[in-house]
Amino acid sequence: MANYFNTLPLREKLNQLGVCEFMDNAEFADGVNALKGKKIVVVGCGAQGLNQGLNLRDSGLDVSYTLRKEAIESKRDSWKNATENNFKVGTYEELIPSADVVVNLTPDKQHTAVVNAIMPLMKQGSTLLYSHGFNIVEEGMQIRKDITVIMVAPKCPGSEVRAEYVRGFGVPTLIAVHPENDPEGKGLAQAKAYCVGTGGHRAGVLKSSFVAEVKSDLMGEQTILCGLLQTGSILSFDKMIEKGIDAGYASKLVQYGVEVITEALKHGGVSGMMDRLSNVAKVKAFEVSEELKDIMRPLFQKHQDDIMSGEFSRIMMEDWANGDKNLLAWRAETGETAFEKTPAGDVKIGEQEYFDNYLLMVAFVRAGVELAFETMVEAGIKPESAYYESLHETPLIANTIARKKLFEMNRVISDTAEYGCYLFDQACKPLLADFMKKVNTDLVGKNFNEGKDGSVDNRRLVEINEILRSHQVEVVGVKLRKAMTAMKAIKTA
């Protein structure tokens, strides 16, 4: 199979990368009608599979699950998840032939095998739904021409998809129709209906394309979301230990700090996050993050280039074929870092203290968010898509670090994201070596404001505020966040 994106002429590449429209509420007025009475069969019953299915059924739709024969016979967890919640469960042969919509919610790595197994069983004119476009775009999977191919991608973990639905809200969602597979022109209506069924329409929906979703999703997760949070956390912790800060304190500051800091990002964007600092600290964080942007820009660009050319997926699939040798080695290495092995100390850290004593992370987050966003937009991805895959998702990933550090983050994210995260981390650490030599505890571990009188130059401060607020990620963010006002606030530890 050939990389789909690379088979396209440039005009069509740009065309598909540029699909991006924030959808109006009125577009969802038909509710779930396009799927009413249709048989929806979900392949896989993990966290996304189960929770999306529960939502769809509670929206009045007909949902059942299909699992591999072995999973049913040995009563695996996926089988229990489905049956104990009273869903009908059957093998591919039993359920796929009568399905109107087949929802593929298995991990990326299994997509080719799963799709090859179910496609011959799918009925004429049915629909295949993905929640990630990797299989179609990077692996170039060809789907039978009578089948409609759509994507509905909730931008949250499965448990959140459920929790937000039952409280009457939803999670932000991306939808798309694959232009090669929309024979009857019904793809968009079905994707919208599915989105209503999972509650996504209440929290902001972005119409995207398979290509735009994949190329931006890969870029976001490798750089700012996982890669930089991992690199920044490890470097910060090691610096504090080197400078004699108590290990328990350092561990707690790093583990929870990123969540508290990005919570401000979630509500007020980069400027909202920077506003949490005192004026002197803000000026410093601005300068540090400018320096970080200069240092890391080539690395961000390399990642985007490799994603666009298909080089990234080529080497990752090589590793798949090699029994995940690199992935497993990097995973083991991460589990052995000092940060991972030092439990968070039993110390109280106030909410503001996380900002004042962890200025370095504020700088890392600003640099990473803006760089990822800028690099994506330069590569032809629309600002709205770039926003979702950079700023919007950062707090969600930060939550996973707060739970159980980097190991937990890497467990929750997909193997694809994890692989990209390690690639970035391996290259970024040496790149920052000189920079880190200059860093002292005023940036990480101790209150930056300590011993300073707090005075700043007015003109400099105004200038910095202006630069922060007029960045495109802020302009587009203000608009998109309005649609998600009701997102839950975190509880600080």
Interface residues with another protein (CB under 8 A) are: 32, 36-37, 47, 50, 54, 57-60, 77-78, 80-81, 84-86, 162-163, 166-169, 202, 403-404, 408, 485-486, 488-489, 491, 493
Angle subtended by helix axes 325-335 and 394-412, to nearest 10 = 110
Question: Minimum distance between the CB of residue 479 and another protein, rounded to whole angstroms?
Answer: 17
CA angle 235, 404, 339 (to 5 degrees): 25
Question: Minimum distance between the CB of residue 76 and another protein, rounded to whole angstroms?
Answer: 9
Question: Minimum distance between the CB of residue 165 and another protein, rounded to whole angstroms?
Answer: 9
Residue 291 or 415 having the CB closest to another protein: 415
Structure-token pair, residue 161: 């998809």
- Known catalytic residue at 178: no
Among residues 191, 46, 196, the alpha carbon closest in space to that of 128 is found at: 191
Residue 190 or 209 having the CB closest to another protein: 190
Residue 166 or 347 having the CB closest to another protein: 166
Residue 164 or 374 having the CB closest to another protein: 164
Residue 219 or 397 having the CB closest to another protein: 397
| Sheet of 88-90, strands arranged across | 21-22, 205-207, 173-177, 148-154, 127-130, 101-104, 39-43, 62-66, 88-90
Question: Minimum distance between the CB of residue 245 and another protein, rounded to whole angstroms?
Answer: 23
Burial (CB < 10 A; 0-12, 13-18, 19+), residue 324, is middle
Question: Minimum distance between the CB of residue 152 and another protein, rounded to whole angstroms?
Answer: 18
Question: How large is the greatest C-alpha to C-alpha distance in the chain, in angstroms?
Answer: 73
Q: Which residues, at least 6 apart from 433, have a Cβ–Cβ distance to it below 8 Å?
A: none
Torsion-angle region of residue 31: left (phi > 0), alpha (psi -120 to 50) or beta?
A: left
Which of these is catalytic: 111, 132, 201, 303? 132
Q: Residue 264 and residue 17: Cα distance in Å, rounded?
A: 30
Question: Minimum distance between the CB of residue 338 and another protein, rounded to whole angstroms?
Answer: 21
Q: Residue 299 and residue 306: Cα distance in Å, rounded?
A: 11
Question: Minimum distance between the CB of residue 407 and another protein, rounded to whole angstroms?
Answer: 12
Q: Residue 67 and residue 79: Cα distance in Å, rounded?
A: 7
Torsion-angle region of residue 52: left (phi > 0), alpha (psi -120 to 50) or beta?
A: alpha
Residue 113 or 486 having the CB closest to another protein: 486
Residue 17 or 203 having the CB closest to another protein: 203
Q: Residue 473 and residue 470: Cα distance in Å, rounded?
A: 8
Angle subtended by helix axes 187-198 and 47-58, to nearest 10 = 90
List residues with catalytic annotation: 132
